[in-house]
Amino acid sequence: MELETREKELLGKIDHRRIPGHVAMIMDGNGRWAQERGLPRSAGHRQGVETVRETVRFCNYLGIKALTLFAFSTENWRRPAREVNYLMSLPGQYLQTELPELVKNNVRVQLLGERNRLPAQVLRAIDEGLSATAGNSGMTLSFALNYGARREITRAVEALIGDLQLKGGKVSVSEDLLASYLYTAGLPDPDLLIRTGGEYRISNFLLWQLAYSELWFTPVYWPDFSRLHLLGAIADFQQRERRYGRISQK
């Protein structure tokens, strides 16, 4: 990968033994990016796909084991139909051009979210991505599409109750057992959450999984989010002391 001088400098300052294993991103600010340029919101989403391409490549290059991208929330259906339709065309577009490279780079694609309500063409594209990369053992790239954390937890509880009823009798429910019913079963919790676009909220993303993640917010709009920003976030992450309730070791 061709890196610029500043990128190489920052990369040199990062501790490569402590790269966050799982990075989750709330890709926000596409609409405002476009509006500030007098463009339709769709132009921001289109540019946002370019950022996704670059980000996936760079995370893979950095050796990040799991990258989870919030692409469409259960609340985003409230947007005008035109915008929703445009957003729904993007996973297919992205995968169509990127799939060969993802396969080559040993990336495994995964969907987090409810399949029903997703248009058939999105499911087709995603399923093609899933099956083409199912055997891959490198970075896990999860797209949160039609994803809402409360929905995820509610479904998990529903499924768990169903299974417990089958077993009958009294069964204790551990945190790990409940987590195994979430879309993210098998994925470690995010070490680092990045939100672009300047909002300081979680917007119903990974409520369970973010319990002890380090949070990093930036006003930069997603289409402008660059390798330098990501390196900055990782450098910041490496300065933090993750105490998990214990007292400081410093």
Residues that bind Mg ion (CB under 5 A): 28
User: What is the distance between the alpha carbons of residues 15 and 238, in angstroms, rounded to a whole number?
Assistant: 8
N-to-C CA span, the chain? 37
113 binds ligand IPE (CB under 6 A): no
Among the residue ranges 23-31, 129-137, 173-181, 210-218, the one whose residues contact ligand IPE (CB under 6 A): 23-31
Residue owning tokens 């057992």: 177
Q: Binding mask 55-74 vs ligand IPE (x if CB under 6 A, - otherwise)? A: ---------------xxxx-
- Asked about 28 being catalytic, the answer comes back as yes
Interaction residues for ligand IPE, span 203-222 (CB under 6 A): 203
Residue nearest to ligand IPE (CB): 31
User: What is the distance between the alpha carbons of residues 223 and 32, in angstroms, rounded to a whole number?
Assistant: 10
Q: Are 34 and 43 in contact (CB under 8 A)?
A: yes
- List the one residue from 36, 158, 163, 199 that touches ligand IPE (CB under 6 A): 199
151 interacts with, out of Mg ion, ligand IPE, none, CB within 5 to 8 A per kind:
none
**CA dihedral angle for residue 54, residue 55, residue 61, residue 64, rounded to 10 degrees:** -170
Of 136 and 203, CB closest to ligand IPE: 203
Of 35 and 121, CB closest to ligand IPE: 35
Residue burial 33-66, b: 16+ Cβ < 10 Å; e: rest: bbeeeeeebbbbbbbbbebbeebbbbbbebebbb
Strands (E) across 148-233 are located at: 192-195, 214-217
182 binds ligand IPE (CB under 6 A): no
Among the residue ranges 6-14, 24-32, 95-103, 241-249, the one whose residues contact ligand IPE (CB under 6 A): 24-32
Of 19 and 72, CB closest to ligand IPE: 72
Q: Which of 15, 28, 105, 163 is catalytic?
A: 28
Report phi then psi at 68, rounded to 5.
Answer: -120, 120
- Asked about 236 being catalytic, the answer comes back as no
Of 19 and 206, CB closest to ligand IPE: 206
The residues, ordered by sequence, that sit 6+ positions from 94 with a Cβ below 8 Å of its Cβ are 49, 52, 53
Q: Which of 15, 30, 60, 76 is catalytic?
A: 76
Structure tokens at 95: 């995968």
148 binds ligand IPE (CB under 6 A): no
Q: Which residues are catalytic?
A: 28, 76
- Catalog residues that contact ligand IPE under the rule CB under 6 A: 26-32, 70-73, 75-76, 87, 197, 199, 201, 203
